[in-house]
Structure 1
Amino acid sequence: MLEIDLKSRLPIYEQLVEGFKRLIMEEVIKTDEKLPSVRSLARELTINPNTIQKAYKALEQEGYIYTVQGRGNFAQGIEGKDQKEKLLKLKGELKKTMAEAIYLGMEKKEIVQLIEEAQQQVGGERDDD
């Protein structure tokens, strides 16, 4: 399910955040599905429970999960998120990243290919814009 690379420069909690985001976006973890408890996941991955808690807090702040007091953490559905602000932020980040990639020599067709791969990864075409 989740893999932690102890040799990575990316902090463990960020690896967890990215891993859970991927699982939620790919719908491996379904909307309203309960996430593993902090203690059980810490035991399974052999990492500090505070690290798990920090990752869950970050995921909740970003709108990927929600907490029900006394019951645990659950995956938040796409339809349940307030997306406008997040999308604006992501568009700005994408624009900067693409500009840098073009500056470094990436071709338009390569960018389009990356977009197509990302669409396949999250489950298909979306021609909203």
Structure 2
Amino acid sequence: MSIDFSADKPIYQQLIDRITGEIIKGHVKPGDKLPSVREYAVEVGVNANTMQRVYKELETMGITETKRGQGTFVTEDSIRLEQLRDEVKKDLVQSFLTNIESLGFSKKEIIEHIQNGEWGEKG
């Protein structure tokens, strides 16, 4: 299952986002073992070196732990995982606000729209 990567962001970052998204959604749980670097690289259609960088970054971020001879596992540190959730949420909101403001909408308009429950509805 190869992934269609976008050209506006490095592939390794898109893979980090994908894995952290799966953790946040609960599809990958604390303590779960991730596929090996080679397995994951084949699965998503990237070079093993790219996948190695992804795993290294995730470990540096405190999202995963590598156990020698056993593999890479999602951290069981609930505080760190809650921080990850908050970081992703803040990044998404900031990106949304930047994009919406660039179109000329005010924060007040957006807040009113959200408070009125007017998202996801088609006219």
Query: TM-score normalized by structure 2?
Result: 0.66
- In structure 1, what is the equivalent of residue 58 of structure 2? 59
- For residue 109 of structure 1, what is the amino acid of its counterpart? I
Shift of 1:83: 6.4
How has the CA–CA distance of structure 1 residues 99 and 20 changed in structure 2, closer, same or farther, with 3 Å as cutoff?
Answer: closer
Using the alignment, how far apart are the partners of 2:41 and 2:92 within structure 1? 32
Q: Deviations over 1:77-104 (max 9, x none)?
A: 45141867x968x759956863663464
- In structure 2, what is the equivalent of residue 49 of structure 1? 48
The CA RMSD measured in Å over matched residues stands at 3.6
Secondary structure at 1:73 match in 2? strand
| Larger gyration radius, structure 1 or structure 2 | 2
Shift of 1:60: 1.6
5+ residue gaps, structure 2, are none
- For residue 63 of structure 1, what is the amino acid of its counterpart? G
5+ residue gaps, structure 1, are 118-129
- In structure 2, what is the equivalent of residue 124 of structure 1? none
Q: Deviations over 1:18-69 (max 9, x none)?
A: 1001100001001100000001112222321110011111112222211112
Query: What number of residue pairs does the alignment pair up?
Result: 112
How has the CA–CA distance of structure 1 residues 78 and 110 changed in structure 2, closer, same or farther, with 3 Å as cutoff?
Answer: farther
Q: Identity across aligned pairs (percent)?
A: 34
Matched, 1:34 2:39: no
- In structure 2, what is the equivalent of residue 74 of structure 1? 73
- For residue 34 of structure 2, what is the amino acid of its counterpart? L
- In structure 2, what is the equivalent of residue 108 of structure 1? 110
How has the CA–CA distance of structure 1 residues 5 and 92 changed in structure 2, closer, same or farther, with 3 Å as cutoff?
Answer: closer
Using the alignment, how far apart are the partners of 2:75 and 2:98 within structure 1? 32
